[in-house]
Structure 1
Amino acid sequence: MTETIASGRAGSAHVDDQPRPGRWLALAVLVLAVLLVGVDATVLGLATPFLSEDLRPSGTQLLWIGDIYSFVIAGLLVSMGSLGDRIGRKKLLLLGSVGFGAMSVLAAYATSPEMMIAARALQGVAGATLMPATLALIRNLFHDPRERSLAIGIWGAMASAGMAVGPVLGGFLLGHFWWGSVFLINLPVMALLVAVGAKVIPESRNPDPGPWDLPSVVLVLVGIVGVVYAVKEAAVEGYRWDIAVVGAVGALALVVFVRRQLTLDSPLLNMKLFHHRGFSGAVLADLLTILGLSGLVFFLSQFLQMVQERSPLNAGLVELPAAVGAVGAGLAAGWVARRLSVRIVVAGGLAVVGLALVGCTTLHGDTGTAAMCVILFVVGVGAGFSFTVTADVILSSVPKEEAGAASAVSETAYELGAALGIALLGSIVTSLYRGFSTPAGVPEPAAHAARESLGGAVEVSGQLPADQAAALLKTAQDSFVGGVDVAAGVGAAVLLSASVAAWFLLRGQELANSPAATPTPAELTADGAPRA
């Protein structure tokens, strides 16, 4: 089977592994999509306090605003990655970019929590087309392993740059405009991507993919969303029979999905990819890393703005060192992994992040800026090394024809980890926060509103006498910080466990130094080495 890469009006095909002219210019456009997603992910956290005061979501609704995007995108990534392999990755990327921009406008002008949740869900549908398409196109543009490692490093660096630019730009916008403006910054990036990408990105697709199996699309969507929803609700509401039913339906759908893939001639996802130990180990490392980090990241902006009472721009600048560390580490990751080893870089990076999270367990309202910046820089360096090398391992482990599906698996692990992390760690913060005792004299309606979320406490404190307002706000802030500290401890345990798992699962994995034919999964041993 060969991979078709169409270029120009004539649609000429390049089926060899020679360096493709214009590949670096195409990469420059591809990473705009990554920048767009990175910016969007970070500005939501900054906008959350303002959004909470304006739309007045309940604590549960606030969690849904934070994690519905991850739920939907995780449920659709595999399907969209496979669709890109079939209809063309460039086509899917451009369509998804237009859709993402349109849904950003809808989110910007949301007038209720329900409308915001719906807008974020639709953004998830569009977002599911972007990340798998960019990685799959990189896999097909860069055949030389060293060039591909650098391209993946640039790809990851731009994701981190988006996370760096997002808080600073978002902080500036929130200081001068209403909270909806932070979603509109996606539009110029989207417009540039579509206008330039249509001209310089070559189309690529699997020339013989088979049909797109709609029952499999439904099964994986129902399965992932059902399981994640059940985990989220059980963490917040406790175990009830209706939650158990939803979880069981989701788990059953995933079992049926896997069994169906094993019987189809053209599966939505080739399950034999998981026979490669390096592929499986890299995917698992990504999932656990994001699970351990995402809950803390989601509440970090609230801590900086509502507990330490920083301005949005100041909060964005405090978060900047994490992205700086990730950019530097991502660009150097391929070089370092070839001189040390894949498992040293990945396991070491995860251990560094875990130890940094241990430091986060001591956060309090008076934690200084320097301490925060050092902790976040260390987190960025460790994550930058780990994510870049695991992405390289995943892409290098599969044939080019299945690059879209493999990229989708990688991104599914990322988004599923984010959804589970916000659901589990976020629920820890929420449940511990709600347990605080309100000071004497605070009216019950005000106390109830304050327990719903820290944003609610900030809002109602402005309606109380000065002494009651100060007491209520201090109590709510202390309770919130206590929840964040516990969540950071849980996240540290997850990261250190992921480091140990990566050390064993990635044993013997190496990044290639020169172009070579990528063996198919059937040609690999369980350890990921070519069969003799």
Structure 2
Amino acid sequence: MQPQSGQPQSAQVQGAATLKDWLGLVVLAFAVLLIAVDGTVLDLALPFISSDLAPSSNQLLWIIDVYSFVLAGLLITMGTLGDRVGRRKLLLIGAAGFGIASVVAAFSTSPEMLIAARVLQGVSGATLMPATLGLIRTIFTDPRQRVMAIGLWGAMAGGGAAAGPLVGGWLLEHFWWGSVFLINIPVMLALIAVGPLVIPESKDPNPGKFDLISSGLSMLALVPLVYAVKETAAHGFSVANMAAAVVGIVAGIAFVRRQKRLTDPMIDLRLFANPAFSTAVFTNFLSVFALAGVLFFGAQYLQLVLGNTPLEAGLLLLPGTASSIVTSLVAAYLIRIWSTGTVLGAGLAAAAVGAALLFGLRVDSGPTLFILGFVLVGAGAGIALTLTSNLVVGAVEPERAGAASAVSETAYELGIALGVAVLGTVVMSFFRRGLDVSNLGGEQAASAQETLGGAIALAHTLPGNVGDALADSAHLAFVDGMHAASIATAVAMAFTAIVVLVRLRRQ
């Protein structure tokens, strides 16, 4: 049997990956590491960006969210495009674009400029994520080697998201906030230089026609829906938010109906009839949702409530980062002993317990309880990312790996975006309602209610008793918001664990 066009011959003929293949995996892993780091590296930089660029509360959330929103909106298009033009080619183009966008972000002089740079990062990142996982699917044809490779990929993706605050903390201790973007440049240059030497090109030899209408509909479905969820969570219902939601829903319905009619659809919707595939996508979304949300409010809690420096906060997050990386790798071995459903369900249950522990946090409780809770959340997310990604790419033939990977990556990026947007706005909703601004003027009150960092900065400028009262009120209100978000996260994780155990009991 001849190897299919676009697939590495060594893997096809021998079934086992070569040293060159493993070196290629290392390059892909570092690429996805940086993309994941960029999803959360700004968490610790928020106070510095607020001080320097003076963004509004809404702009601050967009600086964080827009990267994942744009990336999520384009993943399906880019995944399918990579299957057609070549995943390695798209990977290298995306690496160059990502590097340029990072430089623009680092030297931004206004909130609008930084948001625009984050949009460009999202566009470039959309070319990288499905390409990395799709290439792993085609390079590693042996199932055991593939799950090990995906375990390393998952460790970089999940660990990168968790490591973002640590990296950001160290950089912020020594440099200005723009340095959190410049760390991308050396790795992206190395990817462009080394990638062609160790990563084989792969694509679908018979991809069919690329459907521009489906591409437009996929973006028109995802972006307005995500926007509507974010804005409704932040500001309540409005005509504009409802209109955006309707546009997204209508576009989504049109996209689904079009995929059913096309001979070569962007997404083979029959995959969702496979319990393993659909459950994997759902679980991927919720596990990353929990991790991103906990990171968002946890980083602020460690700095602005407990008073740690950015580097100290990053170090306190390190155990959770390590647990995510370790469990991503260990998961590949655990499924040789127990079923995938059992291992995945246990990981999600651990994440639920970890989120529930955060309900016990207090203004003066110290970091120990947070560290323990975050370790459990990170462990659950690490297991989920490896096993769900393996289920997704294992459900399709290698030549369609990019499109399938894009579905999984869309769930991942939406999880990051909505984790920050929904859980972040839950925290801020409680914060604004609980903050005592009775001793402040109108402008001061509005400034204090924008963000926790703004309230603490204002408290430092006020006379002793008034400033202390505002700071104490801000801390208590923020912790109350954390309690609500942690319970919501714990319930979501427990529910997902039950769904996994039921639907994957034979997997």
* Both proteins in one fold, TM over 0.5: yes
Provide, for residues 140-181 of structure 1, a one-character-per-residue CA deviation record: whole Å limited to 9, x for no partner.
111111111111111112234434553333212211211111
Equivalent residues in 2 for 1:172-211 (5 A)?
172-211=170-209
Shift of 1:208: 0.8
1:155 counterpart residue number = 153
Structure 1 residue aligned with 2:407: 409
Give the drift of 1:14: 7.5
CA contact (8 A) 2:302 2:367 kept: no
Compared with structure 1, are the counterparts of its residues 291 and 38 closer, same or farther at alpha carbon in structure 2 (3 Å cutoff)? Answer: closer
* Structure 1 counterpart of 2:16, from 15, 19, 24: 19
Deviations 1:280-300 (A, max 9, x none): 111111112223332222122
User: 1:251/1:16 Cα in 2 relative to 1: closer, same or farther (>3 Å)?
Assistant: farther
Q: Does 1:70 align with 2:71?
A: no
Give the deviation of 1:303 after TM superposition: 1.2
- Whole-angstrom CA distance in 2 between matches of 1:92 and 1:3: 20
Output the CA distance in 2 between the equivalents of 1:418 and 1:439: 32
Q: How many residues align?
A: 505
Show the counterpart of 2:237. Answer: 239
**Counterpart code for 1:297:** L
Residue 221 of structure 1 deviates from its aligned partner by 0.5
Offset, 1:484: 1.3
What residue in structure 2 maps to residue 124 of structure 1? 122
- Structure 1 stretch 35-44 or stretch 281-290: which is displaced more? 35-44
CA distance in 1, matches of 2:159, 2:436: 41
Task: Give 1:78 deviation, angstroms.
Answer: 0.7
Question: Residues 449-495 of structure 1, C-alpha deviation per residue, up to 9 Å, x if partnerless?
Answer: 00011121122223222222221111112111111111111111111
Which of the residues 267, 270, 274 maps onto 1:269? 267
Partner Cα separation in structure 1 for residue 240 and residue 158 of structure 2: 39
Alignment pair present for 1:380 and 2:381: no
Aligned partners of 1:59 and 1:430 also within 8 Å: no
* 1:19 aligned partner, one-letter code: A
What amino acid is the match of 2:339? S
SS at match of 2:124: helix
Are the aligned partners of 2:288 and 2:412 in contact in 1 as well (CA < 8 Å)?
Answer: yes
Q: What is the alpha-carbon distance in structure 1 between the residues aligned to residue 423 and residue 371 of structure 2?
A: 22
- Give the TM-score normalised by the residue count of structure 2: 0.96
Task: Map 1:500-515; keep pairs closer than 5 Å.
Answer: 500-509=498-507
How far is the alpha carbon of 1:275 from its aligned partner? Answer: 2.1
- Give me the whole-angstrom Cα distance separating, in 1, the residues matched to 2:32 and 2:325: 13
Superposition deviation, residue 13 in structure 1: 9.4
What is the CA-CA distance between 1:417 and the residue it aligns to? 2.0
Do the aligned residues in 2 keep the contact of 1:349 with 1:386 (CA within 8 Å)?
A: yes
Give a deviation string over 1:211-238, Cα, whole Å, max 9, x none. 2211111111010111111111222222
Q: Is the 8 Å Cα contact of residues 29 and 197 (structure 1) preserved in structure 2? A: yes
In the alignment, what sits opposite 1:486? 484
**Given the alignment of the two structures, is residue 431 of structure 1 paired with residue 432 of structure 2, yes or no?**
no
Matches within 5 A, 1:39-438: 39-163=37-161, 165-438=163-436
Cα distance between partner residues in 2 of 1:151 and 1:13: 16
- Once the two structures are overlaid, the 10-residue window that deviates more, 406-415 or 499-508, is 499-508
**Secondary structure in 1 matching 2:6:** strand
Q: Deviations over 1:240-291 (max 9, x none)?
A: 2222111011000011001111111111111122121111111111112223
2:202 match: secondary structure: strand
For the residue of structure 1 that corresponds to 2:335, the secondary structure is: helix
1:335 maps to amino acid: Y
Give 1:59 deviation, angstroms: 1.6
Rounded to whole Å, the distance in 2 between the matches of 1:118 and 1:29 is: 28
Give secondary structure in 2 for the equivalent of 1:266. Answer: coil
Instruction: Give 1:335 deviation, angstroms.
Output: 1.3
Change in CA separation of 1:318 and 1:345 when aligned onto 2, cut-off 3 Å? same
Per the alignment, in what secondary structure is the counterpart of residue 339 of structure 1? coil
Aligned partner of residue 508 in structure 1, secondary structure: coil
Q: Which residue type is aligned with residue 5 of structure 1?
A: G
1:443 to partner: Cα distance: 2.8
Quick check: 1:4–1:14 contact (8 Å CA) kept in 2?
no
Distance 2:14 2:276 in 1: 23
Structure 2: which amino acid aligns with 1:354?
Answer: A
Compute the TM-score of the two structures, normalised by the length of structure 1: 0.91
Structure 1 residue 411, shift from structure 2 partner = 0.7
How many angstroms does 1:20 deviate by?
Answer: 4.3
Pairwise CA RMSD? 1.8
Q: 1:2 to 1:87 in 2, by over 3 A?
A: farther
**Residues of 1 paired with 2:330 and 2:65: CA distance?**
31
- Letter in structure 2 aligned against 1:80: M
Q: Which moved more, 1:494-503 or 1:290-299?
A: 290-299
Query: Within 5 Å, which residues of 2 pair with 1:423-462?
Result: 423-462=421-460
SS in 2 for 1:205: coil
Shift of 1:415: 1.1
Indicate the percent of aligned positions where both proteins have the same amino acid: 47
Structure 1 CA distance for aligned equivalents of residues 311 and 419 of structure 2: 26
Per the alignment, residue 473 of structure 1 pairs with: 471
Deviation string for 1:83-118 (max 9, x for gaps)?
100000001111111111111111111222222221
